[in-house]
Chain A
Amino acid sequence: MPFGFSLLTLTQSRGSPGRDVCARAVGAACCLLAAIATATLAFDDWRARSQQSGEVLAAARHSGNDQYWLRLAALWPGDDRRALEAALADNPRNSDAWIKLAIAQEAATAKQQASAAFAQAALVDRQFLPAWSRANFAFRSADLPLLWSEGARAVTLAFDDLRPLLDLAERAGAEPETILDRWGDEHTPGGARLRRAYLDVLIGGRRWDDALLVARRLLNHPGSGEERTEDQRRLFALVDFQIDAGRSEQAWEVWQGLTGLAALPLSNGDLGHAPSGHGFDWRTRPSPAIVFRWRPGAAEFNFSGQQEDESLLLEQPVVLNAAPRSYHFSSKIRTPGNDDSAQASSAFVWSLEWPQHRPLVLQSGVSTTIRTPPSGTRQIPAHLRLLYRRPVGAAPFVGRLSLGPVELTPADPDIEATGG
């Protein structure tokens, strides 16, 4: 209840008529003053919303509202500094005004004043915007130490997109390693977010070598909980992108770091877990005519008989050592419920496909030794594929195919691993 009304109510219960009149007069005067003050404030606010600088100026001068001065500064492009200074005279803790003043000073080549204003903004407001603004100023002033320090503060305080900060650092000529050291360190608050954001930027830019650097950091310093899941999602995506880009060796490094699997060419050969469809794990090719189902230790395919004469059932990218290395390959295939299991099994073949050489066709269910072809590189990226091929003259296969563990192991005694 307004003060004036309270006073009126109070005086109504008192005795002396003279005092009553006096108190009522005081109360009425207070009400009037309050109404005038309210109307004045409202009028100032209305004037401050005007597009006319004179109106805004009058409102700002009358009210001493720093926001009105800011508004005035916006209406006086290129000549906004004095309005901003007036805003700061009214409210020295207005970081927005400090930042705007700093930008205006900088545009007027008053670098010292600009620097001081940016510093003041950071002093009165320990949030992201002053730090980000000062980092930008540092960049424009070629002040790299300030860029690193303010950037680190911005990384710590940022809740949104970190890419602009990374962009700034890269435009300043910083190498990815340096950026990671300065801002993406595991001890820096927000460093994990920055590493993640940086990996996104690098994947988006198809900068695979730099992405690998960040991936190594993420692998060496995994987050926990949701952060870890986020990291893994990105890293799996990176493995896929690298494989697609023909960088199997680098992809394999990330894959090993992610999965911790033994350094064998084949992942999930025992079909111990459901094919993820990512990286060096099994990938299936969904088809209405062939229904895939995984159960621990086996992959099952149900054929309707409507499938294509040649259908890809399962595949996995692999990395093999170049010649003169050899590998043992074996797989277990069954066609339960089929009268002539051997004949039915002949419809399923493995194909090892590698660049610049003819695919190697391997009969399913038969143990084979593979010799890798000569190659100019230390390692050969390849794809191991399980195919259905309808034999000439045979009816389309109908029924179930059960695939047991698949093995692809080094045959040479000196080979223990690929990818290393």
Chain B
Amino acid sequence: MMSIGVNNGLDWRFRGQAWLAVAMALYLSVGGVLLDAAAPVIGTAAANGSFRVDSMTVKGNATLFEGVTIETGAVTSAMQLASGARMTLGAGSKGRIFGDHLVLERGQGQMDKLSSFRVEARGLTIQPETGNASGRVELSGANRVQVAAVTGSFRVLNSTGLLVAKLPEGASLAFEPQGVPTLTRISGRLEIKAGHYLLTDETTRVTTEVVGKDVSKNVGQRVEIRGAMDPAAAPASDASQLVREQNLRLLAQAGPAPAAAGSSSSGAGTAGASSGSGAGAGAGAGTGAGAGAGTAAAGTAAGTAAAGGGLLGLGVGTVAVIGGVAAAATVGGLAASGSFSSSTPVSR
């Protein structure tokens, strides 16, 4: 029997990854050419049982072609792409696989060694920010997408390509595209840089430029801002978008921990006073305390209601809304769960 130590094994892992990346590139450039030009092969899929490829039941393993739909049953299915990316679809999952992206339609997927590969789910695009990233994406409920960055960091974009969240290694967030025009809602410490007021949201880590009459007097404060995104305006260089403040609320100075594996930003919005434009948001961030009495203008109220209505279960106090997508840190989410369920037999 071969002698393999744990540490030794982990060393292989890192050496192997670099080696395999080179090897897969060669495979693509040399081996791939040999393949039939009419049938672009993008990799292979394997499972300890049967799965479905384009509605056909396949046993054990299959060749993957551009755009095929993979559907797993009771067992997970691992896909090895010629690009070097590796994906595992959880049991009861479904997705359409392409050479450079996966469209997850149902269930959950784990992605390893992603560099230029992305995952699309319910209008969101999840792409690695750094090379060799690994992450998990899970669809739940009617509209929710949970994303966990296991290794490396990820960016989440909405359907128009706007950045809605950044996930550092170990972070896990739940997203719900709102489907209706929704006010942006971000929380964090207000800063000024080169004459621009910036706020990096504590949940999503997205930096936004903020303009509004209450902004300048609250620099350095921890605030929650609601407002409308101005897609036509060019934001400051450090920001991904510009938001016109409609309501600003002071928050407790001690902010929550940033979105991380198993963490909950439950401290957000526990105190403070509404100020400014008079368009107090009716939802009051779930903690009440008289903040933001329901005097919202119709548009604001509608936006807030839409946001609140779509955010059930996300933990209203922790929610950010950016680019029409609500985001919240998950408690014991995918990152905490550790792995997929699998019926892989381990005994003989």
Q: How far is the CA of A67 from the CA of B348 in the complex (A)?
A: 6
A132-B59, A163-B56 known; A57 vs B9 contact (CB < 8 Å): yes
- A133 in the interface, Cβ–Cβ < 8 Å? yes
B2: A residues at CB distance < 8 A: 82, 85-86, 89
The answer to whether B9 touches A99 (Cβ under 8 A) is no
B6: A residues at CB distance < 8 A: 53-54, 57-58
B62: A residues at CB distance < 8 A: 136, 164
Q: How many chain A residues touch B (Cβ–Cβ < 8 Å)?
A: 54
CB closest chain-B residue, reference A172: B36
Q: How many chain B residues touch A (Cβ–Cβ < 8 Å)?
A: 56
Q: How far is the CA of A86 from the CA of B348 in the complex (A)?
A: 16
Q: How far is the CA of A89 from the CA of B4 in the complex (A)?
A: 13
Give residues 77-129 of A contacting B (CB, 8 Å).
Answer: 77-79, 82-83, 85-86, 89-90, 96, 99-100, 103, 106-109, 111, 128-129
Distance between A197 CB and nearest chain B CB, rounded to angstroms: 10
B59: A residues at CB distance < 8 A: 128-129, 132, 160
CB closest chain-B residue, reference A58: B6
CB closest chain-A residue, reference B12: A79
Please encode chain B, from 245 to 283, with 1 for each CB lying within 8 Å of some chain A CB and 0 for all others.
000000000000000000000000000000000000000
B345: A residues at CB distance < 8 A: 67
Stretch of A43-51, A179-187, A333-341 contacting B (4+ beta carbons < 8 Å): A43-51
- A161 in the interface, Cβ–Cβ < 8 Å? yes
- B115 in the interface, Cβ–Cβ < 8 Å? no
The answer to whether B1 touches A132 (Cβ under 8 A) is no
- A236 in the interface, Cβ–Cβ < 8 Å? no
- B201 in the interface, Cβ–Cβ < 8 Å? no
The answer to whether A140 touches B35 (Cβ under 8 A) is yes
- B31 in the interface, Cβ–Cβ < 8 Å? yes
The answer to whether B31 touches A136 (Cβ under 8 A) is no
Interface of A is mostly: helix
B16: A residues at CB distance < 8 A: 78-79
A99-B60, A107-B44, A108-B23 known; A89 vs B12 contact (CB < 8 Å): no
Please encode chain B, from 68 to 95, with 1 for each CB lying within 8 Å of some chain A CB and 0 for all others.
0000000000101000101010000000
A57-B6, A82-B2, A89-B1 known; A77 vs B348 contact (CB < 8 Å): no
Residue ranges of B at the interface with A (Cβ–Cβ < 8 Å)? 1-4, 6, 9-10, 12-13, 16-17, 19-20, 23-24, 26-27, 30-31, 34-36, 38-39, 41, 43-44, 46, 48, 50, 53-54, 56-63, 65, 78, 80, 84, 86, 88, 112-113, 338-339, 342, 344-348
New A-B contacts (16) at CB < 8 Å, excluding given A61-B4, A106-B44, A140-B35: A48-B347, A54-B9, A66-B348, A74-B78, A77-B112, A86-B1, A86-B2, A103-B61, A107-B80, A109-B27, A163-B56, A171-B38, A171-B39, A172-B36, A172-B39, A173-B39
7 nearest interchain CB pairs? A79-B16, A171-B39, A161-B57, A51-B339, A54-B6, A142-B34, A86-B2
